[in-house]
Structure 1
């Protein structure tokens, strides 16, 4: 791992390991797993301003899409005119359609740190104690090959499917009537990408993924009625 990446990994290690040590008397062998969940919640709280911007962007998208489709139909032979008109429409509304992607992009560094933290044997010049953490018998640092040997991987997969299913239903329900069949298909299938991702990452990163997607679902359900 390049040396310039050491500080964020070391910082995350001390945070997660310190938290796990502090709560171990209450959580026992699940201390590291609970620490991951708590750190994920902390990350989402820090990103709350971006999440609120994303929600405003999602509401604006629902409002603007019919107008955008009218512009596309009106100037179907002039892509440059469409681009100008759409940019003008967004400017007048004071929003951007990309606002809904902000929390996802902002989380990528945190997700990468969590992945690296549980795939690195030596952190800050010492053995990575977090790799000894388990959840229902599944080592937090191991991957998909142990799926069949412990129920924890199956449990994670089932919970990810449940959250993805609920997220998929919510997204399809909030599409406007002018949405294309392709848009509806993507809205229905994209949430299940978390299950595919979980198959190639450590259990710890999968736990992060489950926690953050559950947070997103709850956030959207509460704030986008």
Structure 2
């Protein structure tokens, strides 16, 4: 079964295609041949603006987890030999505080469908039964449907392809490094500490900041552009919200 031909999915893709084409036409007087790329940037900014309340909820959740950290550590010490009791007491603590250990996941979950739609729009020659005009659009001479990995494997990578993707990858890597330094998780290597609070997990969390750069090498240029803008926005938003919702003193 062709999922793209499934009516609800086809309708969503067709609406997204029309939106991007409309934005492209609107931005063409200003952006010229890069109008389609600019429309992806505008789409990203719109999505991130809509998700600002979710970002605020995420910042509040992080602040709550910071405030509850001493109580959680005490529970871990008290029930370290009884995982089931520890889980019950942990959930009770969150319930008493009217908080959730899963709060703040919405921004990441909400963006997944948008990334999937952008990925699909710049991967298929036809959308909802008509030609996909977005595939003819370019950024600095590189088609928005081009992926770096695909171009290298097929031998079609040009200097422009490498240069454009290199610029995006460097930008993502710089944002990832700033994020790693600014939001480095606290390390607790005490004997009764949770394994999730150790130095090894902190290093793993830091390394995960760079996974977006890896993903960007395999997706179409349009999706890589979306990822670059969204990680940059995320960093700026987190820096602002951390000032508004600071962590409790250690």
Runs ≥4 residues deviating over 6 A? none
Q: What is the distance in 1 between the residues matched to 2:211 and 2:67?
A: 27
Contact 2:119–2:223 (8 Å) recurs in 1:
yes
Report if aligned partners of 1:62, 1:176 keep a CA contact under 8 Å in 2: no
Higher mean C-alpha displacement, 120-129 vs 207-216: 120-129
State the match for 1:220 in structure 2. 238
**2:78 matched to which residue of 1?**
74
Q: Deviations over 1:161-186 (max 9, x none)?
A: 111111111221xx235331133112
CA RMSD after TM alignment: 1.4
TM (norm. structure 2) is 0.85
Shift of 1:194: 0.2
Once the two structures are superposed, what CA deviation does each residue of 1:113-146 show, in whole Å capped at 9, x if it has no partner?
0100101111233211111111122211011143
2:207 is aligned with 1:197: no
| TM-score of the superposed pair, with normalisation by structure 1 | 0.94
- Residues 71-150 of structure 1: pairs in structure 2 closer than 5 A: 71-144=75-148, 145-146=150-151, 149=158, 150=160
Structure 1: runs of 5+ lacking an equivalent: none
Match of 1:186 among 184, 188, 204: 204
Match of 1:155 in 2: 167
Distance 2:12 2:200 in 1: 39
Q: Distance in 1 between matches of 2:72 and 2:38?
A: 45
Shift of 1:97: 2.2
Does 2:221 match 1:206?
no
CA distance in 2, matches of 1:87, 1:69: 14
Matches of 1:176 and 1:161, distance apart in 2: 22
Q: 1:176 aligns with which of 186, 193, 200?
A: 186
Are residues 1:19 and 2:23 paired? yes
In proportion to residue count, which structure has more helix?
1
Q: Which has the larger radius of gyration?
A: 2
Q: Does 1:166 align with 2:178?
A: yes
Gaps of 5+ in 2: 189-196, 244-250
Further displaced range: 116-125 or 179-188 = 179-188
